[in-house]
């Protein structure tokens, strides 16, 4: 049970998280919509771009989705020549994924809007606020996400 004296603050935090995430994804969502794509496509492009040669099973683990949930959007990105799937270098039974040149340009545009927004927000809030935000996010996700880069 939530401490009644904290309930209003926690509800406000939930709302801030919701509206902040909505703003964070608004720019990329508009770009994706022009191509008939959605947020899940951006997630796939982002993580394939961060880990070129990633195996599908590793991408599934990062995204936390089932094979069935990944299949259609990944197939669409491959058909649109945004992602390239090749036989694995160590085990040809497994496919490895990488961004095509066009996929890399789209991913850079999508993620670039988010980096620009975060950069401006962190600049306005100040370094201590940014570090506090990072501490909250790391605590929230601790043990539940693969670490792609230290970034610290």
Answer whether 53's CB lies under 8 Å from 96's CB: yes
**Whole-number mean pLDDT of the chain?**
91
- Indicate whether 3 belongs to any domain: no
Please state, in angstroms and as integers, the Cα–Cα distance from residue 30 to each residue in 42, 76, 98, 145, following that order.
11, 18, 24, 27
At 147 the pLDDT is: 53
- Indicate whether 88 belongs to any domain: yes
At 67 the pLDDT is: 92
Domain at 54, CATH number: 1.10.10.10
Proportion of the chain above pLDDT 90, given as a percent: 80
- Indicate whether 130 belongs to any domain: yes
- Indicate whether 37 belongs to any domain: yes
User: Rounded to the nearest 10 degrees, how much is the dihedral formed by the CA atoms of 74, 39, 32, 62?
Assistant: -50
- Indicate whether 107 belongs to any domain: yes
Residue ranges making up the domain that contains 109: 33-141
Instruction: Give the 3-state secondary structure of residue 97.
Output: strand
Give the predicted TM-score (pTM) of the model: 0.88
Low-confidence ranges of the chain (pLDDT < 70): 88, 91-92, 143-152
At 20 the pLDDT is: 97
- Indicate whether 97 belongs to any domain: yes
Task: List, for residues 111-150, the tens digit of each pLDDT value.
Answer: 999 999 999 999 999 999 999 999 999 999 886 666 565 4
At 107 the pLDDT is: 98
Q: Tell me the C-alpha distance between 116 and 31, whole Å.
A: 15
Could you give the number of structural domains in the chain? Answer: 1
């Amino acid at each position: 049970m939530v401490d009644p004296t904290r309930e209003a603050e926690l509800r406000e935090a939930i709302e801030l998280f919701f509206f902040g995430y909505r703003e964070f994804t608004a720019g990329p969502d508009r770009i994706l919509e022009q191509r008939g794509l959605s947020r899940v496509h951006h997630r796939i492009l982002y993580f394939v771009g961060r880990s070129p040669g990633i195996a599908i099973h590793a991408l599934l683990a990062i995204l936390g989705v089932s094979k069935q949930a990944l299949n259609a959007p990944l197939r669409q990105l491959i058909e649109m020549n945004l992602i390239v799937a090749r036989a694995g270098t160590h085990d040809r039974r497994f496919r490895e994924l990488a961004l095509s040149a066009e996929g890399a340009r789209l991913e850079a545009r999508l993620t670039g809007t988010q980096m620009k927004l975060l950069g401006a927000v962190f600049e306005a809030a100040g370094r201590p606020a940014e570090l506090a935000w990072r501490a909250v996010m790391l605590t929230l996700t601790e043990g539940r996400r693969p670490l792609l880069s230290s970034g610290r």
